[in-house]
Amino acid sequence: MATLKNYYKDLLVWEKIPHIELVDAWPPKLITEIKSDIRQAVNSGSIIGLRCSLRPNSSNQSIGNQVEDKTLPVLSDKMLKFDLGKCSGAGYPDRVLTQKQTRLRIPLEVKATSDWNPNDSNRRVLTSSSEKIRKEFKSPIHHLLLTVLYHKKGNVVIVEHIRLDFLEPATSVSVRLEASVNHKILSYGTHTSFTI
């Protein structure tokens, strides 16, 4: 299985970009500081049990986005040593965690799920391009995945836990090379098309 470090190395070759380090090992002290700050924010009493009313007929992806939009501002307001903000532009990461004292910027991807199953092999897409990482972050680059775990009661979601995954260069990743099309490509392509 590929590692995050090898994925970025191969991705840069594919993108024809000279090699630069895009993932660095986490210093144990930084992990401890993040865990401590997020733990105290969660323990403030505002996160666990947080209720999020859902829009009618929400898809799973929409539910995740609504949970994220409700949870992250509350979490951010309670954090003391880090700022949690949006990372502008399309693609990975959606968020940035900034250490207040050093101004270190950490790519932060947020996901939400109602069922944490350690045997679940469904993909959770992180990244498919290095452009945003290269543009927004400078070495050392530490990658953090925050998962909001919740349970759903009717049209209300209730936050149960926050999980942090400190992704390392040696973290195993599933890599899938994808090709995609869109209506424009299909409309103006050189291939044969036929509409009945």
Q: What is residue 89's DSSP assignment?
A: S
Angle between helices 60-78 and 28-41 (to 10 degrees): 100
pLDDT for the residue numbered 179: 64
- State whether residue 11 is helix, strand or coil: helix
Using only the alpha carbons of the chain, give its radius of gyration: 19
The residue range of the domain holding 183 is 2-188
Residue 133 lies in a domain: yes
The count of domains in the chain is: 1
Residue 21 lies in a domain: yes
Residue 195 lies in a domain: no
Q: What is the mean pLDDT of each run of 10 residues along the chain (196 residues)?
A: 92 95 97 97 91 93 93 95 94 95 96 84 80 95 95 94 95 80 82 78
Amino acid, single-letter form, for residue 182: N
pTM: 0.89
Residue 196 lies in a domain: no
Residue 60 lies in a domain: yes
Listed in sequence order, the residues at least 6 apart from 42 whose beta carbon sits closer than 8 Å to its beta carbon are 48, 75, 78, 162
Residue 171 lies in a domain: yes
Residue 35 lies in a domain: yes
Residue 194 lies in a domain: no
**Distance between CA 61 and CA 48 in Å, rounded?**
21
pLDDT for the residue numbered 196: 76
